């Protein structure tokens, strides 16, 4: 049984299909890349998988149906659209605030995750003083800091410098080897080709398997 299963998933807006009869299966522990031009439907597909939008068809994760705006079947870490951090809080306080929802990790574990990207140095700096890349690092850190089972990452390397991209790639490989399942939509060919076990091309709301 596949870990993620989409059966005939469609989303129509007015006369157009934003998602057009998508069926796919993803195994646990896989890193799966989604590529495709601007507006092809990658973000919408991720929003559907996360239960953020109503679709026809069926989406299952770990054999449980994903329902609109309901608790997800597994603990999911996401980067989708602009990360909504609280500017007047420090980086650490933002992560503590997010971690308080599920209460699975303590302050030391959060700081250890920040250390992966050298962000422990800036833990007491307010997010409003963070650069774009620093915010993106914080977004990546929050997506896995609780040991989330599934990561759904839309353009995770946006704004990252080369060193941070390398750290990101190593971290994703390590999480995948621990059995975490990772979905990445990206225009960064190097990241996708290096990381993905399987690559889907999204075009006009349809997906086709490239690798
Ligand atoms: N809230 C919305 N309501 C209706 N249509 C939308 C909405 N958001 C996006 N769309 C449309 O859905 C289609 C897919 O958009 P989506 O954001 O999924 O593309 P994408 O592949 O993620 O693009 P990019 O590479 O630019 O991030 C586009 O035609 C877009 O105009």
pLDDT in tens, the chain (211 residues): 899 999 999 999 888 999 999 999 999 999 999 999 999 999 999 999 999 999 999 999 999 999 998 999 999 999 997 668 999 999 999 999 999 999 999 999 999 999 999 999 999 999 999 999 999 999 999 999 999 999 999 999 999 999 999 999 999 999 999 999 999 999 999 999 999 999 999 999 999 999 7
**9 beta partners:** 22
Please check whether residue 15 lies inside any domain of the structure: no
Contact in structure between 80 and 46 (CB atoms under 8 Å): yes
In total, how many domains does the chain have?
1
- Cα of 42 from ligand 1 centre, angstroms: 8
ipTM: 0.93
Tell me if 47 CB under 6 Å of ligand 1.
no
Residue 141 belongs to a domain: yes
> Residue 83: its pLDDT value, please?
64
| Residue found under tokens 């993905």 | 196
Among 44, 45, 192, 201, the mutation site with the greatest number of ligand 1 atoms within 8 A of its Cβ is 44
Query: Is residue 26 assigned to a domain?
Result: no
Helical spans, DSSP H, in the chain: 42-49, 91-102, 107-116, 132-144, 162-177, 189-195
Residue 197 lies inside a defined structural domain of this protein: no
Residue 206 located in a structural domain: no
For residue 13 and ligand 1, the question of a CB distance below 6 A is answered with yes
Asked, for residue 113, whether it belongs to a domain, the answer is: yes
Ligand 1 center from residue 1 Cα (angstroms)? 30
Asked if residue 118 belongs to a domain, the reply is yes
Structural domain of residue 93, as residue ranges? 85-147
Q: Give pLDDT, residue 15.
A: 86
Cα of 2 to ligand 1 centre, how many Å?
A: 27
Neighbours of 129 (CB within 10 A): 11
87: how many CB neighbours lie within 10 A of its CB? 12
189 assigned to some structural domain: no
Encoded tokens for 24? 């796919």
| 192 φ/ψ sector (left φ>0, alpha ψ -120 to 50, else beta) | alpha
List beta partners, residue 153: 79, 184
């Amino acid at each position: 049984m596949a870990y993620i299963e989409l059966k005939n998933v469609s989303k129509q807006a007015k006369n157009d299909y934003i998602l057009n009869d998508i069926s796919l299966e993803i195994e646990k522990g896989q890193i799966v890349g989604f590529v495709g031009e601007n507006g092809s439907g990658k973000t919408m597909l991720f929003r559907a998988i996360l239960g953020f939008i109503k679709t026809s068809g069926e989406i299952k994760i770990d054999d449980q149906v994903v329902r609109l705006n309901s608790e997800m079947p597994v603990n999911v870490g996401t980067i989708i659209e602009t990360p909504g951090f609280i500017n007047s809080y420090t980086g650490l306080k933002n992560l503590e605030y997010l971690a308080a929802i599920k209460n699975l990790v303590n302050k030391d574990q959060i700081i250890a995750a920040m250390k992966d990207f050298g962000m422990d140095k800036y833990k007491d700096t307010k997010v409003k003083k963070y650069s774009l890349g620093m915010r993106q690092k914080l977004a990546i850190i929050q997506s896995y800091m609780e040991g989330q089972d599934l990561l759904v990452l839309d353009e995770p390397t946006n704004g990252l410098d080369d060193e941070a991209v390398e750290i990101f790639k190593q971290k994703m490989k390590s999480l995948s080897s621990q059995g975490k399942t990772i979905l990445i939509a990206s225009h960064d060919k190097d990241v996708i080709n290096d990381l993905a076990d399987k690559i889907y091309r999204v075009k006009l709301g349809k997906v086709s398997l490239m690798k």
